[in-house]
Amino acid sequence: MIIELLKHITTSTPEYVKKMGYLREVIAIEHRFKRCKKEWKEHLELSKQTILDSLFLCTHNKRVVILGSGFLLDLPLRELSNTFEEVVLVDILHMPSVREAVSIFSNVVLITSDITGLAEKLYISRPKPEGSLPQSEPFLPYCDDDCSLVISLNILSQLPIIPSHYLMNDLKWKESEKLLCWSNQIMLDHYKALNHLKIPVCLISDYEMVYIDKKGNEIDRQITVPFLAKAKPYNQWRWNIAPIGIESRKYAVELIVSAFLLEKDKKTVR
Ligand SMILES: C[S@@+](CC[C@H](N)C(=O)[O-])C[C@H]1O[C@@H](n2cnc3c(N)ncnc32)[C@H](O)[C@@H]1O
């Protein structure tokens, strides 16, 4: 706890990133990874393998852009660095340990950016519950003609989480249909932006959360990304994100993760 607090105090980020909770969330991910290494292993390996599988989509090896690079846990960075002339890692924040880890690769570039274009607007405008909410303006840096492959890496379902927590915890919004639709739209806008690219895309994201009791029985299920629920994936697996004792002593939480390999010209916009 003290280590996490120290990291929060000493890591420098723009004000909105810290105050809205992005830094806290990233520190929590690292902490949870350390506690659940064994349970997360399969998910991390499958994510890495899917990324390597997606290389066949590329028609050149100039640049790969990774959206949601985080702690690089699910990323085969060395292989990508050996394959592409340039590797661009995009995240709303890059922790000092990540900066250090990538410094040994001369062709890896870190871009710090909010890919929804929404967070700072929300932080500055502080919308009231009866007012309107700013819309996302997806920003996919470096995804131009020189880009060979874009990877959206376990980030899609995360995009509305901090913004809606900020609204509920700091601005006293209540859970509502309006908030739910707005959250879904943020995810859909990201998905549409990927679909509009004339570049191959590897999209890895959970779409459903499953709660399992101590006896191994499923007790509840919640959709995290509604429009992915019926899409046919390239691959699918379960991520045992919170074994019993992590989130609750009574149940474990698993995510159902789907991976989509979208060819350059064969994308479907919903
Ligand atoms: C679940 S993690 C993805 C796993 C990550 N690849 C790893 O190995 O840690 C989600 C990542 O998305 C980033 N993120 C969340 N919202 C973002 C946004 N609006 N723009 C850019 N990055 C964002 C977080 O900072 C976090 O690193």
Q: Is the pLDDT of residue 168 over 60?
A: yes
CATH code of the domain containing 66? 3.40.50
In sequence order, what are the residues at sequence separation of 6 or more whose Cβ sits closer than 8 angstroms to the Cβ of residue 26?
70, 71, 93, 95
Q: Is residue 222 part of a domain?
A: no
C-alpha of residue 214 to centroid of ligand 1, in Å: 30
For ligand 1, say whether the CB of 118 is within 6 Å of any of its atoms. no
Q: Is residue 238 part of a domain?
A: no
DSSP secondary structure code for residue 54 in this structure: G
The tens digit of pLDDT for each residue in 127-162 reads 999 899 999 999 999 999 999 999 999 999 999 999
70 closest CA partner among 104, 35, 103, 22: 22
In sequence order, what are the residues at sequence separation of 6 or more whose Cβ sits closer than 8 angstroms to the Cβ of residue 177?
none
Q: Is residue 192 part of a domain?
A: yes
Q: Is residue 155 part of a domain?
A: yes
Q: Is the pLDDT of residue 270 over 50?
A: no
Q: Is the pLDDT of residue 181 over 90?
A: yes
Q: Is residue 257 part of a domain?
A: no
Residue 114: which pLDDT band, with cuts at 50, 70 and 90?
very high
In sequence order, what are the residues at sequence separation of 6 or more whose Cβ sits closer than 8 angstroms to the Cβ of residue 91?
67, 68, 69, 70, 110, 111, 112, 113
The tens digit of pLDDT for each residue in 72-86 reads 999 999 999 999 999
C-alpha of residue 93 to centroid of ligand 1, in Å: 8
Phi-psi region of 246 (alpha: psi -120 to 50; beta: other; left: phi over 0): alpha
Which residue has a Cα nearest atom 11 of ligand 1?
68
When the pLDDT of each residue in the chain is averaged and rounded to a whole number, the result is 95
Atom nearest to 118 CA in ligand 1: 19
The total domain count for the chain is 1
CA distances from 210 to 40, 96, 153, 194, 251 (A): 15, 33, 20, 27, 10
Strand partners, 23: none
Q: Is the pLDDT of residue 10 over 90?
A: no
- Domain range for 82 is 2-202
Q: Whole-prediction pTM value? A: 0.95
For ligand 1, say whether the CB of 114 is within 6 Å of any of its atoms. yes
C-alpha of residue 69 to centroid of ligand 1, in Å: 6
d(CA 158, CA 241): 14
